[in-house]
Structure 1
Amino acid sequence: MLNQVRKSSVLPEEKAGQWVKSGMTIAIGEPAPMGLLRWIIRNKITDLTVIGSGLALDYLIAGGCVRKVITYYAGSPDIAVMPAFRSEAENGTLEVWECEEGILTSGLEAAGKGLPFMPWRGGVGTSLPDINADLKVIRDPIGGEVLIAVPAINIDITLLHASISDSYGNVQHCRGTGWLDMFLYRAADRVIVQVEKIVSNEEIRSKPWETTISNADAIVLSPYGAHPFYSRGYYVQDQEH
């Protein structure tokens, strides 16, 4: 019988952050792992392609880290369009890969399944294929329906924030994940998860139905690491920040 010894996935923020290199494609989950994003800005990582939305995305753009964005919405409930995104997109220094939510998840699903593309009905008859040359209008070879072929959106590293994990990278999100997190996790070569608390493997195994991610590549202990955003089961969003 093989005696396999599991290794800890816990890394300090500095060491995990060093996995992110200039020119990579990264994805930001929800709530955003702001501790890791601040590390990226402080260390002047640049030329990134970023899949994300809202303030977290704008934070990286304002920090000079982003060359291209893949986003369905670069705003928030309080600000229709984020200021750094608007400024950089309007002056042409930021490349924008136009999509909507279904197109984004289709591309991520294709990447997660190792497929070159995923067909999608949404966007047929709109200007999206004209604006985004990567989207191809095709005809279903079986039923003849007109569809859009969405290319796989492959991610080098996905950055997530969650409630708890054990030291082996078995992650649990309190009250469920952000709606996009699992797509981002499956489409990535590596995933770094910052968590509020690291618990024993026994505690994780006592509630296996709550485990959302298994064997994350790196776990970073980061209490209050999603601030000014919320962390389910720990704190609410800081509206005054």
Structure 2
Amino acid sequence: AYLRQKDVDLLLITTANKQAARVYEGLKLRKPPVKHCDKAYFWITHPKGFAQSVLITKSIPFNAVLKYPLGTAIFLVNLFKQQPLIEKHKRTEHTIIEYAEFSEEFDVFWKNNPARSNEFMAQRDKDSMMWHFSHSFKEEKVWVMGIKENGFLRSYAVFFRYDNEKYLLKRVRLIDFQTLKGGNDDLLILLNYALRKATKTNVHMVEVFGFKESIQQIVKSRAPFERKLPSWLFFYKALNKDLEKRLDNEAVWNPTSFDGDGSL
């Protein structure tokens, strides 16, 4: 029924699994022209918890005991592979603010960010964001953090809990990052803060996938681990010819788990 809609300009899929991806490909739905959207980059923030999840995934018995030696091995690999996201002297230069809701600051942020109007993205005003994440705030499944400059929001990131209860995996995923002028430095500062928060709250891993290539490259250069996703998650079908032409351009895309139902 979703794909049969006629009175819309665009059909967007952001959570395709392996089986659905084959169907969408067969129906000639298009993938956004962004590279590497089938790869995830991640940090392990709780080696023992992550180790137990891996053992459960592999159906290995005595996982509650074996997680200790495997967790130690993962810790050592982590120690060897992981590099600082930001230089030590810069870690206290910026104040990170955690938000319990989306305030008027976010409306001001977008009024000051007209250059982003050429990108294809979901509405991100205060009311839209609160509608999107209202239940997630109540369930403490979303982390929203920002950096201010001269009293105004300069950059912000949204992280979302994607736990897998079957495998006892506690996971946080970056689902949105927006900046006025902080650029990649602010991305790394916010990621660094999220990693520390994940460690303190016993979250096993922090993961990033999707996004435009400039963000992918900075994440890939710092993340110690990567994995290939079972399928490409993002598909679209433009029913408007003018829109179809505009979307056939990598520069307008920044696909995230926020732009769809992936974080509802």
More strand per residue: 1
Structure with a larger share of its residues in helix: 2
TM-score by length of 1: 0.24
With structure 2 as the length reference, what TM-score do the two structures score?
0.23
